[in-house]
Amino acid sequence: MGDYLEKVKRAVTDLDLDAIAPLVRDALDSGEDPNAILQSMCAGMVGVGELFESGEYFLADLVLAGEGMKEGLEVLEPRLQAGSMGVKGAVVLCTVKGDVHDIGKNLVGTMLSSTGYEVIDLGTDVPEDKVVEAVRANNAVAVGLSVLLTPMVESIGAVVRALEAAGLRDQIKIAIGGACTTDELARRMGVDAVGRDAVEAVRIFDGFVGA
Amino acid sequence: MSASHERVRAALELREPDRVPTFDLMNEFSTDIEILGKKPSPLGPLIANPRVSDLLDKVLPHVNTAFVLDKVLEQLTNLGAEAAVRMGYDSVWLPYFPVLRLADSRTITDIFGRVNDFAMDEKGNMGNPIYRTGLITSPSAWDAWDKKPIFRLPEKVNRVFGRIQKSFGERLFIFGFCNYGIFESIWQPMGFERFVISIRKERSLIDRMVRFYTDLFCVLLEAEADAGIPGAIYTDDLCYRSGPMLNPKMIEELFGDSYRRITETAHSLGLKIVIHSCGNTESLLERFADWGFDAVHPLEPTAGMELSRAKELVGDRMCLIGNIDVSHILVDASREEVFEAVRRAIHDAGPGGGYILGPDHSHPAISVERLRWMVEAGREYGRYPLSV
């Protein structure tokens, strides 16, 4: 039985897209616990993250890994018990108002949902009041803001101020990422962290929730 | 040959010119009009008016916008060249990009299948369109795509660059820009996720598109060379802030032959060709040189690119262009900071020739005053033999 779990994990890490969903199906048919299969897939994603950090994998490989996870979860999800996913808490993600770039944000979402977070993805060009609304509605533990374009960086400050005004800032951590983000910008905007890529984002959010 | 031409050509050929040449990177409209002292005509407030935008939404899809838009774009190209002359630049990255179509009051598509948003700066001035998504969602969508406007592109480019070269070519070394590179031309109309998955699952589609855009780029180079333009920009953002978006081996496999063909075509026509790729390109610099590019831009400092490292890696094979920061230095830095950034850039990349001074990007918040300081500092520190 355990052999399937290792195969699922390896297929995710090796980006073997054709194999992931059939292996998950075989694992279920052989009686593996769906939660154990999910954990194997997540362990495979951790392997992807390690290969990315060591320079063997690239941005496109994270996309492929995300696609593999999606295909595997389509098979697995109907068999999972409620609450199996998103155990680390809800995270609200968006690309800030005025900016429509979403590759980085989508990858962060894939990595976070693959490592135990419930991801509330609000999309692109999102005004600050929508972020506040989503944080409140989902009892989110953290917010991730993506921005590529320098002229749009002030939208980060707008989210911070809106969360303050709503009385939510003290209970929530905020991370930013994207081409124009720097430590200096993070300080100036009053956010808690800046991430360089989707793999670092997982470390940052794990640090936020003490995972 | 004018002093500017000789200066730029020497730098591109890795010889020491009389001084480090300067490079103007296709400014935003608002920057050009400020340089030229023209009155801005902000469209933002107009489009924000619901009555006007409702009217535009109804009318624009039904009118032939190509004729009007192409004329407007030619005027913007002229404006860019005029502004570059006014600033005293030696060279300019000059776009003529007659590929845009107005879809509605907020959306601008292009003939390749990209969907862009209108960009306005805080004063309501029009900015460069911002890519949002793509329309080529399947192999059949690519087959069905109307390519006739694409086939007309070389003729338009030839005609307009001919006029531009005649008006400004003596004073400026013009790097023409009329289409994005192959990687961007394929992934943007598909969306990045779909593109990556297609490499695995629909490889023949990707290979067909690579061939199509390689052929197109080579014909566009012919059109530019025939117009008398001395240089071309090949822009393909292969990287993001921490490295390549694809495995470099995959980049080589998908695009290597195309890049070699493009540089060989350019050189056979007497054109210099610059590769522009945003992000941290350090791990690709040697490939850029292997592929035959004469120069590389922008060497983006916010992505961790250092001129000294680039010089060490490829300085004996390629000219380096740019690296002056647009997140702080050319936005709100002091005069001393701007001068120091230029001095350091020339110190790191200038020895022996092979460096052209310029910004790493353009955006509406760039300060014209700081661009002037950059040019001034280039003249102060850039004279050969260098003493920085």
In a mutagenesis test of the A interface, which of B31, B186, B241 is the best target, namely the one with the most A β-carbons within 10 Å? B241
Work out the angle between the directed axes of helices A59-76 and B192-201 (0-180°, nearest 10): 80
**Res. B24 pLDDT band, cuts 50 70 90:** very high
Residue B312 confidence (pLDDT): 98
Which CATH number is A89-209 given? 3.40.50.280
Contact residues, chain A, for B250 at CB < 8 Å: 60
Examine residue B129 and say whether the peptide bond preceding it is cis (omega within 30 degrees of 0): no
Beta bridge partner(s), residue B319? B295
CATH topology assigned to domain B3-381? TIM Barrel (3.20.20)
Distance CA B117, CA B109 (A): 8
pLDDT tens across B367-385, in order? 999 999 999 999 999 999 9
Domain boundaries, chain B: 3-381
ipTM exceeding 0.95? no
Q: Is the Cβ of A54 closer than 8 Å to some Cβ of chain B? A: no
Q: Which residue has the tokens 């492929």?
A: A64
Judged by CB atoms closer than 8 Å, whether chains meet at A150 and B363 is answered as yes
How many Å lie between the alpha carbon of B272 and the closest alpha carbon of chain A? 29
Q: Is the pLDDT reported for residue A17 higher than 80? A: yes
Q: Is the pLDDT reported for residue B107 higher than 90? A: no
Among A124-133, A168-177, B127-136, where is mean pLDDT lowest?
B127-136
Q: Is the Cβ of A121 closer than 8 Å to some Cβ of chain B? A: no
**Res. B272 pLDDT band, cuts 50 70 90:** very high
3.40.720.10, 3.10.129.10, 1.10.1240.10, 2.30.30.60: CATH of A2-79: 1.10.1240.10
Q: Is the pLDDT reported for residue B64 higher than 70? A: no
Among B40-54, B186-200, B262-276, B297-311, where is mean pLDDT lowest?
B40-54
User: Is residue A104 classed as helix, strand or coil in its secondary structure?
Assistant: helix
Give, in order, the Cα–Cα distances in Å from B253 to each of A61, A209, B247, B284. 16, 42, 10, 14
Is the distance from CB of A15 to CB of A65 less than 8 angstroms?
A: yes
What mean pLDDT, rounded, does chain A reach? 90
Q: Which two tokens stand for residue B101?
A: 């179509």
In a mutagenesis test of the B interface, which of A97, A150, A184, A189 is the best target, namely the one with the most B β-carbons within 10 Å? A150
Question: In chain A, which among 174-193 make CB contacts under 8 A with chain B?
Answer: 179-180, 182, 184
Sorted by sequence, the CB contacts under 8 Å of residue A206 that are 6+ apart come out as A88, A115
Judged by CB atoms closer than 8 Å, whether chains meet at A151 and B242 is answered as no
| Topology alike, domains A2-79 and A89-209 | no
Q: Is the pLDDT reported for residue B71 higher than 90? A: no
Q: Is the pLDDT reported for residue B63 higher than 70? A: no
Q: Is the Cβ of A109 closer than 8 Å to some Cβ of chain B? A: no
pLDDT tens across A82-131, in order? 666 778 899 999 999 988 788 889 889 988 988 889 999 999 889 999 99
Residue B56 confidence (pLDDT): 80
